[in-house]
Structure 1
Amino acid sequence: MQILTGKSILDQFAFGPLCFYRRRSFHPEPESRLTPEEETHRFHTAQRQAILQLSALYDSACAELGTQAASIFSIHAMLLEDASLVEEVLTTIRSRHATAEYAVQAVEREFSSAFAGMDSPYMRARGADIRDIAHRVIRCLLGLKTPDPLAARSGILVSDELLPSEVLALDRRKLLGLVTRRGSVDSHTAMLLRLMKIPGLAEVEISSQDEGHAALLDGFSHSLYLDPEPQLMAELGLSPATERRPLAASL
């Protein structure tokens, strides 16, 4: 049995197989064959489409989790219309003769880096929101859908970082828990997990070689037990052969 530690998002237990999510990387062409005016039009079209998607997410989150969760996507929509962010994208398109995808990605990295350098943990966590809206706009530009990190599986999801809109897209019946290598307990992702009553650990040093292994996520001790020993499972009243679900805190 191996024990990993991180920062707990919720005081609860979860047991199940580790399912790794590897988000698709975007490698947009830096220079466009279109005119800057055409790329600007592409950006504004994708921006409007993304805002419509966020409006639908707001309604869905409001119905399922309440206004606190829904407010995340209202904030995302406002960020997408932020004058300084939009102007940076348009300036990049014009000055570098860049594709809209490249410009959005370049500005996302600039803004994310700025948030990462802030003193406040809360403000540092806002970088994930910038990445979320940027990925959404790029998917709109490329005609891609929001990915389903778990697909047909059930388990404890492991990722470098899970973005708020990706959390809402998950089937909560399949998501037993979340483990991230980065992430933050101050992020909107963490807030959504708490509202969903799904345990999670952030800042865990975990290897991709552990995919498929059984794991016990202990939110109380900020620990992740890989291939937990039978004695530990017995203390929690679990059978590895049958228990693949979130557990109510009972210790």
Structure 2
Amino acid sequence: MKYSERQVSSVRILQGTAASSGIAIGPAFVAEKISPHLDRQPVRKPVQELKRMETAFAAAKQEIEQICEKACKGIGEEESMIFQVHIMMLEDETFRQEIMDRILYDHTSAEYAVWRSGRKMYDMFSHLDSEYMRARAEDMADISRRLMRCLDQPGEPEPPAYLCTPVILCLSQAVPSEIAQTNRSEILGFITQYGSTTAHSAILARGMHKPAVLGLNDAFDELHTGAEVIVDGCNGRVILEPTAQVRCRYASLQQTGGQTEQKQKQET
């Protein structure tokens, strides 16, 4: 039987942006959202904070180099170049100097200096005319998070403990390093609240051959861990808790890589 929009009208469909083709069916794992704000923390010994910051910069660079090497072996050399870009952004003199100046002259904590400077760069990228350059905001968020974590506890954190595996990983804002470090066998596909097809996380998802739908925006909040979802990476749709009939049809489409569905959608 042919698939059509009418045949899934009884279930909830969330529309996003198709970022990596294919069909994925499985339980959702909604990662905890990272707090978007950090209060200003004054310090009495800025020199000590500067030393902490230098150590964090060195640790972050080492970690990114390790991720780059892992991505090169596990995903591809071209995709791993994303993390060479991260190193360039991390070592950007303007970015580094602004962080150091906030610590030295404003007497703020290293964490706050990173958060404030990173937020400034994030906002700058987000408002650029070029879609490609706007997508670099995601990279700045990734770098800032890494620096803040290195200030607190250097070394890669333990991977998330999924309730079951494999899962469809749902992220408010996907960042490249998080995508690159996932275990392919544990991930069926990706869903994000924000993001675009030019984002490095989308490029990595395609390199991993994992279906991905990005940019659900407010509809992302309807997702919850453990719920069965279908990721339609061909048409940018997420189907929540599908009926057995809908699941069966998408499982059939899964065998053809979603090509049948794309064609039928064009015919409707």
Q: So what's the TM-score if we normalise by structure 1?
A: 0.90
Shift >6 Å, 4+ stretches: none
1:110 to 120, 129, 142: 120
Q: Is 2:174 aligned against 1:166?
A: no
Bigger Cα displacement from structure 2, 48-57 vs 209-218: 209-218
Post-superposition offset of 1:227: 1.4
2:207 pairs with 1:195: yes
Among residues 100, 106, 115, which one is paired with 1:90 in the alignment? 100
Which residue is 2:157 aligned to? Answer: 146
1:130 aligns with 2:136: no
Q: How far did 1:229 drift?
A: 2.1
1:216 aligns to 2:230 (yes or no):
yes
3-state SS of paired residue (2:194) = coil
1:243 — aligned with what? none
Q: Contact 1:149 / 1:166 at 8 angstroms: preserved in 2?
A: no
Give the RMSD, CA atoms, in angstroms: 1.9
1:164-212 superposed Cα distances (whole Å, 9 cap, x missing partner):
1111221111111111111221110000000000011111122256432
Aligned equivalents of 1:100, 1:136: Cα separation in 2? 13
Q: How far is the alpha carbon of 1:236 from its aligned partner?
A: 3.5
Larger fraction in helix: 2
Corresponding residue number in structure 2 for 1:3: 13
Q: CA deviation at 1:28?
A: 6.1
206, 221, 224: which is aligned to 1:207? 221
Q: Which runs of 5+ in 1 are unaligned?
A: 239-245
2:84 to 74, 81, 85: 74
- Structure 1, residues 59-116: CA drift from partner, whole Å, max 9, x if none? 1111112221111111111111101001110111122101111100000000000011
Give the direction of change, closer, same or farther, for the CA distance of 1:190–1:102 in structure 2 (3 Å limit): same
Contact persistence 1:11–1:219 (CA under 8 A): yes
- For the Cα contact (< 8 Å) 2:41–2:108, is it kept in 1? yes
Whether the aligned pair in 2 keeps the contact of 1:128 and 1:187 (CA below 8 Å) is yes
**Partner SS state of residue 197, structure 1:** coil
In structure 2, C-alpha distance between the alignment counterparts of 1:152 and 1:74, rounded to whole Å: 33
Q: Per-residue deviation at 1:23?
A: 3.8
The aligned counterpart of 1:228 is: 242
Specify whether residues 69 and 152 from structure 1 end up closer, same or farther in structure 2 by C-alpha distance, changes over 3 A only: farther
- Preserved CA contact (<8 Å) 1:150 1:174: no
Cα distance in 1 for partners of 2:223, 2:23 equals: 23
The alpha-carbon deviation at position 234 of structure 1 amounts to 2.4
- The one-letter amino acid of 1:31's match is P
In 2, distance between residues paired with 1:14 and 1:171? Answer: 16
Match of 2:58 in 1: 48
Q: Percent identity?
A: 30
Structure 1's 83 and 119: CA in aligned 2 closer, same or farther, altered over 3 A? same
Single out whichever of 9-18 and 148-157 deviates more from structure 2.
Answer: 148-157
In the alignment, the residues of structure 1 paired with residue 246 and residue 134 of structure 2 have an alpha-carbon distance, to the nearest angstrom, of 36
Residue 160 of structure 1: SS of its match in structure 2? Answer: strand
Q: For each residue in 1:21-44, what CA deviation from the matched residue of structure 2 results, as whole angstroms up to 9, or x when unmatched?
A: 0144374652124x2222111111
